[in-house]
Amino acid sequence: MIRPALLLALSLLCAACAHQPAATPATETAAATVDANAPLRLATYNTSLYSDEAGGLIAELEGDSAHARKIAAVLQNARPDMVLLNEFDYDDAHRAADLFQHRYLEVAQPGGGEPLRYPYRYLAPVNTGVPSGLDLDNNGEVGGNGRNRGNDAWGYGLHPGQYGMLVLSKYPIDEAAVRSFQLLKWSAMPGALRPTVPATGKPFWNDAVWSQLRLSSKSHWDVPVRTPKGVVHMLVAHPTPPVFDGKEKRNAARNHDEIRLWQDYLSGNAATWLCDDAGRCGGLAADARFVILGDLNNDPVDGDGRHEAIVELIEHPRVLRYPTPVSAGGEEAAKAYAAKGIAHRGAPAQVTGDFGPKAGAMRLDYVLPSSGFQYIGSGVFWPASSDAHAAIADGSDHHLVWVDVK
């Protein structure tokens, strides 16, 4: 959906976080007046901007990436004020983020809208591709090549930073208050779903390994943004998909508990087990305004995930109840799969991605504002195949989801 640009660009000089890269000014453009009464557009988009090779995304963006141009064109059409990009490879120098912003977002793209500028951003290391030094897939060896190496990383990935996350904002980020839960141990969660081998009933991982495992497959971040109407906490994550494992269903259990982390985080000070990477413990303040964003890899009714996790998050008392975002393209794709015998129970128009003939179309991407907001509108950027914008909507197997609130 095309929306008039919100005119703003505030100059900011941000210091680096002491132990990780944190919020940084993405551009150095001059400020314009902000309309404090305008709706706030919140969005999530799994961009598939990743490479199996370290530095591969940088090389792609240094050239002329048709893929990146499509992603930028979608963002230029939707024009969110605050957006999470999933599957955007992280690098320590932030080179990929710089290239994407300056060479793609800030340049009018075919099928896109006006150039789009985000003065503020947050990106930091993630667990994907980081060697654990442990035999996490229980194949008898540590590391190895290809998928074996990825399986033994803290989060599956072929190099550190693969499938990373990037937060972009038109409003200043309170970098001193950002919280990251990259290092949080899975075993610290009360009632954690420790995977077991069905044939024996024994834990899939022994105690020595289980006590070291990290919960987040990428990371969980609380990124406070100073909007004209007050601070909004962007709660962002990208839980592991609940597939690619054995009968122990370790990925399904991890996906469930990665989603459950946000449920516990919303319980405030009662969540004493939730200690971030800086050592601060507890959840989100009871009066804080927030939005949960991300490819959460769990459909409420379809697919292989443990659906109770996402259903309970959607129905959490602190989460705003609003009509589920829909699209014409999603409905078209889901009905086409149904005609081929790949039918799902969920509403066809609510799907957010097309995952091929084995999985079909599902709803995996979420924008969940807190109950303190007033709902204005929502949608999924997935035009029907007859729409001219369909040509830019296939840059990823996921589609951008947006919600407007006041």
Domain layout of the chain by residue ranges: 24-126+161-405
What are 296-316's pLDDT values in tens digits?
A: 999 999 999 999 999 999 999
CA pseudo-torsion sign 189, 191, 197, 200 = positive
Burial of 214 (0-12, 13-18, 19+ CB in 10 A): buried
pLDDT tens digits for range 95-110: 999 999 999 999 999 9
Higher pLDDT, 260 or 270: 260
**The length of the chain, given as a count of residues:** 406
For residues 171 and 168, what is the distance between their CA atoms, to the nearest angstrom? 9
Separation between Cα atoms, residue 257 and residue 262, nearest integer Å: 9
Q: 232: burial class by Cβ within 10 Å (0-12, 13-18, 19+)?
A: buried
Assigned CATH topology for domain 24-126+161-405? Deoxyribonuclease I; Chain A (3.60.10)
The stretch 194-209 carries a mean pLDDT of 96
Nearest-angstrom CA–CA distance, 263 and 190: 12
* Among 387, 292, 359, CA closest to 74: 387
Task: Indicate the helix (H) or strand (E) that contains 235.
Answer: strand 230-237
Q: Is the pLDDT of residue 28 over 80?
A: no
The predicted structure's pLDDT at residue 113: 84
Backbone angles phi, psi at 395, to 5 degrees: -70, -15
Q: What percent of the chain has pLDDT over 90?
A: 87
Strands (E), 140-243: 165-169, 179-180, 220-227, 230-237
pLDDT at 20 over 80: no
* Calpha distance 253→117 (Å, rounded): 39
Which residues are within 8 A (CB) of 199 and not within 5 positions of it... i.e. 6 or more apart? Answer: 247
